[in-house]
Amino acid sequence: MLRYTLRRLASAVPTVFIIVTLTFFMIRLAPGGPFDLERPLDPLIMANLNRAYNLDGSLWSQYLTYLGNLLQGDLGPSFTRRDFSVNDLFATGLPVSILLGSLALLLATVIGVILGAIAALRQNSSLDYAIVGLATFGITTPNFVVAPLLSLFFGVLLGWLPAGGWSQTDPIYWVLPVLTLALPQVAVIARLVRGATVEALRSNHVRTARAYGLPARTVVIKHALRAAMLPAVSYLGPTAAGLLTGSVVVETIFGLPGIGRYFVQGALGRDYTLVMGTVVVIALFVIVFNLIVDLLYTFLDPRVRYD
């Protein structure tokens, strides 16, 4: 198991390298640069800026410089936010995104699994149809619709919760963003768990458990639900990576200082280092969470062995 983990971590290095390389050259292919304004800058100032930000050398030398810095953990200075390095931006933004993302992940998993299991056990009942309907609603409604509605309803009309804003210490500010992030995931997880549970309940080993007179609770929880968790777990890996790295929509609507918006803002402003930094962080999250899922699988399913 340890050997497998090390091997997987080792194989992450070339993966990240390829992602970094592709992103580096792709963003440079986009027209324009970080200091282009509607009125062109004085060429002398432009040249100075380019020199200051290390944009004056050949593309190749810039790439090598970036790689060298990256190896030392330096993501470079942000081009559009003066006086901030990309590392600074992530140091303040990432904890916010991780906090909200992990709460949303927890909420979505707990509620999703419960709803999915209930729907499967009451298959084709009105409760099942209600849950499936709710799940379809959750999947199809985009978060830029859900977020303003929640904000309007609970924040403005009822006044129960702040309509936006952020406080690191007051959880009341976390509620609406977490709900917005969790809702579509609740829906997907509920559907996955429902389908897998229905299938597990029809399986031969569940029939065996029933034929041997085990109580219904044991049959369902021990023999059906555990098997039904497997597809949800594989889904949760990449989803966790996505949730923990923030969402541009949710952060914009609720005014949160997370890192989700950096990717879009960085790309629009040609903030090369910010885009690259976001890509590297997201790639690392995806790699780590996929590894966690694969390791989790060995605990859930004894048939999975890596060594």
Partner 1 sequence: MEPILDIKGLRVTFQTNDGPVEAVRGIDLSVKPGETVAIVGESGSGKSQATMALMGLLARNGKATGSALYRGQELIGMSERNLNKVRGDKITMIFQEPMTSLDPLYRIGEQLAEPLRFHRGLSRAKARPRIVELLKLVGIPEPERRIDSYPHELSGGQRQRVMIAMALACDPDILIADEPTTALDVTIQAQILTLLAELQQRLGMAILFITHDLGIVQRFADRVYVMRRGEVVETGATADLFAAPAHPYTRMLLDAEPAGRKLPPPENAPVLLDGQNVEVVFRSSGGLFQPADELRAVDGISVALHQGQTIGIVGESGSGKSTLGRALLRLLPSAGVISYKGRELTNDPAAMRPMRRELQLVFQDPFGSLSPRMTVGRIITEGLMIHEPALSARERDVRAGEALAEVGLEPGMRNRYPHEFSGGQRQRIAIARTMILKPKVIVLDEPTSALDRSVQKQIVDLLRDLQQKHGLSYLFISHDLAVVRALADYILVMKQGRVVEQGQTEAIFDHPAQDYTRTLMAAALETTRFRQEDPAPVLP
Q: Which residues contact 267 (CB under 8 A, 6 or more apart)?
A: 27, 30, 275
Rounded-to-integer distance, Cα 210 and Cα 214, Å: 6
And the tokens for 148? 């303003």
**Which range binds partner 1 by CB under 8 A, 39-47, 74-82, 215-223, 278-286?**
215-223
3-class state of residue 77 by DSSP:
strand
Residue 225 makes contact with partner 1 by CB under 8 A = no
Q: Do 256 and 92 touch, CB atoms closer than 8 A? A: no
Sole window of 6-14, 23-31, 131-139, 235-243 interacting with partner 1 (rule: CB under 8 A):
6-14
Residue 19 near partner 1 by CB under 8 A: no
CB of 203 to partner 1, least distance (A): 7
51 binds partner 1 (CB under 8 A): no
226: contact with partner 1 by CB under 8 A: yes
If binding is defined by CB under 8 A, does position 303 make contact with partner 1? yes
For the bound state, the minimum distance from the C-beta of residue 220 to partner 1, rounded and expressed in Å, comes to: 12
Shortest CB 128 distance to partner 1, Å? 12
What is the separation of C-alpha 137 from the centre of its chain, rounded to a whole number of angstroms?
Answer: 21
Residue with smaller CB distance to partner 1, 107 or 230? 230
Among positions 10, 29, 37, 71, the unique one binding partner 1 when judged by CB under 8 A: 10
Question: Taking phi first (over 0 means left), then psi (-120 to 50 degrees means alpha), and beta for anything else, what does residue 258 get?
Answer: beta
Between 81 and 222, name the residue whose CB sits nearer to partner 1: 222
Which are the contacts of 160, defined by CB distance < 8 A and separation ≥ 6?
Answer: 154
Which residues from 183-212 bind partner 1, rule CB under 8 A? 203-212
Distance CA 76, CA 143 (A): 32
Closest separation between CB of residue 140 and partner 1, Å?
Answer: 28
Element (H, E) at 306: none
Q: Kindly determine how many residues on this chain lie close enough to bind partner 1 according to the rule CB under 8 A.
A: 28
Give CA–CA dist 90/262, Å, rounded: 9
Token digits of residue 280: 């590297």
**Which residues sit at the interface with partner 1, rule CB under 8 A?**
7, 10-11, 14, 123, 203-216, 218, 222-223, 226-227, 300-303
